[in-house]
C-alpha cells in the first residue's frame, strides 16, 4: 500500500524533476476500451418499470423491497414493490439546483428495519458558493404517504464557487458503524492533494457524521481528520463488495475514467496523475510505477463517464456474482467489469443508447437502471 506521506513526497519530487521521469507513455497505460455489446448480444431483457424527472440515485429498502428514487430538482419518491406505484416523500430539505448539483444520493442506515434511518446528500448554496451536505432522517410511511422525520445535517463539504464535482455519493460500511462519503474537488483540482481540505477526498465518518476514530490522517497536524483517501477528482460510484473491499468509480478529465480499489491513506493521484489528459489535450502524466500514487484497477479512454457503481451479489446472473457494473453517461450503456477479488479482468459495455445515471441490484437479483436527465426511465434487467 502506498501511504500518503510517500505520495506527497513523490509528487513534490516529480514537480522538481525532468518530465522524462513522469512521461505520458501510452504503452505503460492500463487504460482500455470496453468491448461494445449491442441489442442482439445482451444476456438480459430490458423492462421499463417507471419514469422519473432527472433522476440521480435510488436505493432498495431492506424488508419491503420498496425503492427510494431521488430527482436532482429536490424530489424524493417511494416506489411500492408490489404495485409499482410511487408516492412523493415529504420533508426533503431545500436543495440548491445548479450545474451538477441538487438532491443527490440516498442510502439506508444499518438500523433501517428498526428505526427507518436513511442518509441523504444534497447541495446547499447561497452567496455565490455551494457545497454538499449529508443528512440523516427517519423514513416514516403510512397508508397514504411517506415522510422524512427528524432530518439533521451531520456533515458538510466546504462551500466554494462553481457548480460541478460535488460527488456526494454515500456508502455505509459492512461493519454497520461507518458512513463513507465521496467529496469531489469541485473542479478546483489542487485541493485533492491538500490534506487540510476535504475536497477531492473520500471521507470516513461515524454514523453521527463525526470523523471516524482511527482514520489515517487523524494524528497528522493540520490534516482533516475525516480523510480516508485522497487525490480524487469526481467519485460518483462508491460501493462495498461482499468481501469488504471498497470500490470507487471516478470521472476522469478527457479520458482516464477510473475504477479504484480504495485503501486507507491511499493517494489516487489527481491532479498529478491521470491516464487521461486535460480537456483540449494538456498533458497529465499517466500513472507509473514508483510515482507514489495508487493506479486505477481499470481505466477508460475515451471516456465512458461512470455516474454510478454496483457490485453484483445476486444469483439471477450467476456468471456475474462479484463483478462490477458502472452506469455510463457519455458511454450510454452499462459497463460490466469482471472482478476476481481485488483483480479486474475483461470489461464490456452493453449499449443502451441512453445515458445511464444509476445502477442498483434489486432484492431478487435483477439489475435496475435509471436513465439520466429529462424523462429518465427506470429499467429492470432480467436474464434473457
Ligand atoms: Ca495522462
CA of 188 to the centre of ligand 1 (A): 18
pLDDT tier at 34, thresholds 50, 70, 90: confident
Q: Is the pLDDT of residue 254 over 90?
A: yes
pLDDT in tens, 347-380: 999 999 999 999 999 999 999 999 998 899 999 9
- pLDDT at residue 144 in the model: 83
Active site amino acids:
165
Provide DSSP, 21-37. GG---GGG--EE-PEEE
Q: Which helix (H) or strand (E) holds 82?
A: none
Q: Is the pLDDT of residue 12 over 80?
A: no
CA of 218 to the centre of ligand 1 (A): 32
- pLDDT at residue 39 in the model: 86
pLDDT in tens, 48-58: 999 999 999 99
Interacting residues of 228 by C-beta distance below 8 A, sequence separation 6+? 180, 201, 202, 203, 204, 215, 216, 262, 264, 265
Grid cell at residue 286: 499517466
Grid cell at residue 66: 420498496
Q: Is 361 helix (H, G, I), strand (E, B) or coil?
A: strand
pLDDT in tens, 162-175: 999 999 999 999 99
CA of 286 to the centre of ligand 1 (A): 4
Distance CA 168, CA 325 (A): 19
CA of 262 to the centre of ligand 1 (A): 21
CATH of the domain at 30: 2.120.10.30
* pTM exceeds 0.85, yes or no: yes
How many structural domains does the chain have?
Answer: 1
Q: What is the mean pLDDT of residues 27-47?
A: 80
Is the backbone of residue 269 left (phi > 0), alpha (psi -120 to 50) or beta?
Answer: left
CA of 15 to the centre of ligand 1 (A): 15
pLDDT in tens, 209-244: 999 999 999 999 999 999 999 999 999 999 999 999
Domain residues for the domain of 187 are 4-383
Query: How high does pLDDT run on average in the chain?
Result: 92
CA of 13 to the centre of ligand 1 (A): 18
Amino acid at each position: 500500500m502506498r501511504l500518503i506521506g510517500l505520495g506527497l513526497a513523490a509528487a513534490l519530487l516529480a514537480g522538481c524533476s525532468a518530465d522524462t521521469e513522469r512521461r505520458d507513455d501510452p504503452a505503460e497505460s492500463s487504460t482500455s476500451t470496453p468491448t461494445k455489446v449491442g441489442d442482439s448480444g445482451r444476456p438480459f431483457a430490458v423492462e421499463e418499470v417507471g419514469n422519473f424527472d432527472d433522476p440521480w440515485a435510488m436505493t432498495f429498502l431492506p424488508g419491503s423491497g420498496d425503492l427510494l428514487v431521488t430527482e436532482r430538482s429536490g424530489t424524493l419518491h417511494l416506489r411500492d414493490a408490489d404495485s409499482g406505484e410511487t408516492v412523493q416523500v415529504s420533508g426533503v430539505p431545500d436543495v440548491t439546483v445548479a450545474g451538477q448539483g441538487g438532491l443527490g444520493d440516498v442510502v439506508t442506515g444499518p438500523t433501517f428495519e428498526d428505526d427507518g434511518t436513511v442518509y441523504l446528500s444534497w447541495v446547499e448554496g447561497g452567496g455565490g458558493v455551494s457545497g454538499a451536505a449529508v443528512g440523516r432522517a427517519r423514513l416514516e410511511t403510512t397508508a397514504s404517504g411517506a415522510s422524512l422525520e427528524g432530518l439533521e445535517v451531520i456533515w458538510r463539504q466546504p462551500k466554494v464557487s462553481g457548480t460541478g464535482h460535488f460527488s456526494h455519493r454515500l456508502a455505509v460500511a459492512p461493519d454497520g458503524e461507518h458512513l463513507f462519503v465521496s467529496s469531489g474537488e469541485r473542479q478546483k483540482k489542487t485541493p485533492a492533494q491538500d490534506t487540510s481540505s476535504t475536497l477531492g477526498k473520500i471521507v470516513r465518518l461515524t454514523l453521527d457524521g463525526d470523523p471516524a476514530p482511527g482514520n489515517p490522517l487523524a494524528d497528522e497536524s493540520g490534516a482533516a481528520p475525516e480523510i480516508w483517501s485522497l487525490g480524487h477528482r469526481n467519485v460518483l460510484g462508491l460501493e462495498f463488495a461482499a468481501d469488504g473491499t471498497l470500490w470507487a468509480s471516478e470521472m476522469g478529465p478527457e479520458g482516464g475514467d477510473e475504477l479504484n480499489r480504495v485503501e486507507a491513506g491511499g493517494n489516487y493521484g489527481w491532479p498529478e496523475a491521470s491516464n487521461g489528459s486535460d480537456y483540449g489535450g494538456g498533458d497529465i502524466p499517466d500513472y507509473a510505477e514508483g510515482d507514489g500514487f495508487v493506479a486505477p484497477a481499470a481505466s477508460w479512454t475515451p471516456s465512458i463517464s461512470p455516474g454510478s457503481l454496483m457490485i453484483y451479489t445476486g444469483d439471477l446472473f450467476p456468471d456475474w456474482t462479484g463483478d462490477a457494473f458502472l452506469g455510463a453517461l457519455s458511454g450510454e450503456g452499462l459497463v460490466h467489469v469482471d472482478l476476481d477479488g481485488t483483480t479486474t479482468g475483461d470489461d464490456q459495455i452493453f449499449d443502451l443508447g441512453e445515458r445511464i445515471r444509476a445502477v442498483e441490484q434489486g432484492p431478487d437479483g435483477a439489475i435496475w437502471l435509471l436513465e439520466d436527465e429529462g424523462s429518465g426511465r427506470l429499467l429492470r434487467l432480467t436474464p434473457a
